[in-house]
């Protein structure tokens, strides 16, 4: 059976937060959910990007219920403030789609001095999720979907040089952050289940999807070789809309369960299906180690107390 946008159930009455919603997978995810009646909060790095995305979405769905949220995932303090804004403004949150990400930039530090890919792709989404869990736990059927990448299968956690301070390899750091996404999603699932919390934690990956990440990576690194490689691989890439289907399935399909991961049928392209996670993410001891280490890093900059009521 093919799972497509037509398979998305009615989403009327549901409130969704999508990070990185102004372009690529996030924009298409927001677009499809709005078409199904959901109210969508566009989490974007700047209000200007969020407003431009809203105008494009309203052109397609004039009656859409769209809210804007400024959230720079390169700054844990802003993530903290954004989560507080959500908790104050909204009485509920049904879906959190941790979609935003950066891919293979030159060595760059976040606002807190952490390696940017680890900070944006993993730490900030973990912080955001933990801050929003009390709000989400009030809803039956609430889900957290953390978006990874096929790079998870090549990733490993460099415990001795997590931030790449001694040696930085941009693709190794990217793969590390994508493996961390899956490890977080699985560890969150385990802890939510143990706490009898009704929030589900799932992960997804888009396969080879054509988004702004490839363009941004080439521009940031000035690599003509990388640009040439993307051109050669062009026929293998599927559209951003197709790439968004695994996270939409994980977020909305009644049969999708906490702890599962969804990706393209042929791993790099195709309609979505249940897929395996990176073998390293199945190591419970390593997941717990990453969780505690990540939590310690987050707590160096923001206070996360409310999630203790749940986990």
**Domain regions of the chain by residue span:** 12-309
Q: What mean pLDDT is predicted for residues 111-132?
A: 98
Q: What is the model's pLDDT at position 218? A: 38
Residue 100 token pair: 């935003």
Phi and psi (nearest 5°) for 58? -70, -30
**pTM of this prediction?**
0.92
Cα–Cα distances (Å) from 172 to 33, 149, 223, 237, in that order, read 33, 13, 17, 21
Listed in sequence order, the residues at least 6 apart from 228 whose beta carbon sits closer than 8 Å to its beta carbon are: none
% of the chain at pLDDT higher than 70: 89
pLDDT bin (cut points 50, 70, 90) of residue 268 is confident
Residue 235 confidence (pLDDT) above 50: no
Listed in sequence order, the residues at least 6 apart from 155 whose beta carbon sits closer than 8 Å to its beta carbon are: 172, 175, 176, 177, 178, 179, 180, 278, 280
Residue 225 confidence (pLDDT) above 70: no
Q: Which CATH class is domain 12-309?
A: alpha beta
Q: What is the model's pLDDT at position 222? A: 53
Place of tokens 């209000």: 47
Residue 131 confidence (pLDDT) above 70: yes
Edge-to-edge strand list for the sheet holding 15-19: 65-70, 39-44, 15-19, 95-98, 143-147, 200-204, 261-264, 272-274
Q: Which residues are part of the catalytic machinery?
A: 168
CA distance 220 to 230: 15
């Amino acid at each position: 059976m093919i799972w497509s946008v037509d398979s998305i159930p009615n989403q009327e009455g549901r409130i969704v937060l999508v990070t990185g919603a102004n372009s690529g997978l996030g924009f298409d995810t927001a677009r499809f959910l709005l078409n199904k009646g959901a109210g969508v909060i566009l989490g974007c790095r700047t209000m200007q990007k969020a407003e431009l995305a809203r105008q494009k979405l309203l052109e397609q769905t004039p009656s859409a219920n769209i809210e804007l949220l400024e959230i720079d995932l390169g700054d844990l303090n802003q993530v903290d403030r954004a989560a507080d804004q959500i908790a104050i403004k909204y009485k509920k949150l049904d879906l959190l789609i941790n979609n935003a990400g950066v891919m293979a930039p030159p060595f760059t530090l976040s606002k807190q001095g952490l390696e940017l890919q680890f900070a944006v792709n993993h730490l900030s989404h973990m912080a955001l999720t933990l801050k929003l869990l009390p709000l989400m736990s009030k809803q039956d059927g609430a889900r957290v979907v953390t978006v990874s990448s096929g790079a998870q299968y090549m990733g490993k956690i460099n415990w001795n040089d997590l931030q790449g301070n001694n040696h930085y390899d941009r693709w190794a750091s990217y793969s590390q952050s994508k493996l961390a996404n899956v490890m977080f999603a699985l560890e969150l699932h385990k802890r939510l289940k143990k706490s009898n919390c009704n929030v589900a934690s799932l992960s997804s990956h888009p396969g080879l999807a054509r988004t702004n990440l490839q363009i941004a990576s080439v521009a940031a690194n000035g690599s003509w070789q990388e640009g040439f490689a993307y051109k050669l691989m062009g026929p293998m890439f599927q559209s951003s809309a197709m790439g968004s289907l695994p996270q939409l399935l994980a977020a909305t399909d009644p049969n999708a369960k906490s702890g599962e991961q969804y990706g393209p049928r042929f791993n790099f392209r195709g309609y979505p299906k249940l897929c395996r996670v990176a073998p390293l993410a199945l190591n419970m001891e390593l997941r717990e180690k990453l969780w505690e280490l990540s939590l310690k890093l987050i707590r160096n900059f923001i206070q996360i107390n409310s999630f203790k009521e749940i986990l």
